[in-house]
Structure 1
Amino acid sequence: MTHPAIDRVLRLIENSTDSKALRQFAENARKKGEPTVAHAAELRLYEILPSEEPGSFEHDVWRSIHALEGTLTNERGKTTRLGRTRQKIARVGELGTVTDLIVGTKKPSEGFTMLLDRQMPELTFEAVALRHPDKFDQDALDVASQRLQAASSTQTR
């Protein structure tokens, strides 16, 4: 696509609230070798999929889940769900799940690594925690910040 065409499609994506159209934009862009357009469509899709109030902690958590599930589904060619994460949310809620995945393990979660590998650090649960500091204790915020800083320094090398 030409730059004006790409710019036009990116503006359409930015304002779209139609999940079907966004999926189609992403699929078409991948077929045409336009990863920037595909990525933009997918990020917008993950923004509109959660039913929770945009900007809320819960919305951010589900946006992260949809992003990882959507990316894995695209890569694997079959529907992929984060079954254990969804089950844990059903048991202990979004806050308990995110807290456990940040401070309950010494190493970053598999989801953290997968999102970093796919250039989506802003969708990790660590980034979600830092955007909603009022929900977490200082220990969780410190661990989240350290993980993201370590990942950032690793990626810039």
Structure 2
Amino acid sequence: MDNGAPARALALIADCDDPEKLRRIAANARRLGEDGIDRAASLKLYTVLPFAEPGTLEHDVWRSIHVLEGALKDERGRTTLLGQTRQKIARDGELRTVADLVRGKTSDGFRMLMDREMVDHTFEAVALRHRALFEDEVILAASDRLLAFGAHCQ
């Protein structure tokens, strides 16, 4: 890439809401070894994929699911859906799913996101962003887990 290409790519990503275009940008960046552009396009993709209104709990939950599924795809080389989490959401809703998972044992998905410096996409961070919706016990569990892994809480 020429010297100005990364800045142009990042500007294009910032203005793009088309999932297919973002997928192509990420794939091309990955092929060219442009990790920063790949990451930016992928994260933007995960932000535009959820059908829920941005800023809502539902949007943040589905964005987190898409981020973790993307990380699993990168690691395993094939699409991997979070079947149990998706089923739990269908059964219990986003709020209860987040609360139960935050109160439960530390998951491999949480560790994977922390290892990739994607703390904002953990269900713990989601709970803290939407703290008014959760019981104090859930907020405390989310804060404690993030602190135990060296993350600063919001």
TM-score of the two chains, using structure 2 as the length reference: 0.94
Which residue pairs with 1:132 in the alignment? 130
Q: 1:2-47 CA distances to partner (integer Å, 9 max, x unpaired)?
A: 4411001000001101111111111111111111100000000000
C-alpha separation between the residues in 1 aligned to 2:37 and 2:58?
Answer: 27
Alignment of 1:1-157 (within 5 A): 1-103=1-103, 105=104, 107-152=105-150
CA RMSD, Structure 1 to Structure 2 (Å): 1.1
Q: Which runs of 4+ in 1 moved over 4 A?
A: none
C-alpha separation between the residues in 2 aligned to 1:18 and 1:81?
Answer: 21
TM-score of the two chains, using structure 1 as the length reference: 0.92
How many residues are matched?
Answer: 151
Amino acid across the alignment from 2:32: K
C-alpha separation between the residues in 2 aligned to 1:146 and 1:3?
Answer: 43
Q: 1:48-99 CA distances to partner (integer Å, 9 max, x unpaired)?
A: 0000001100000000001111221233221110000000011111011100
Deviation, 1:138, is 1.0
C-alpha separation between the residues in 2 aligned to 1:83 and 1:143?
Answer: 24
Consecutive unaligned residues in structure 2, runs of 5 or more: none
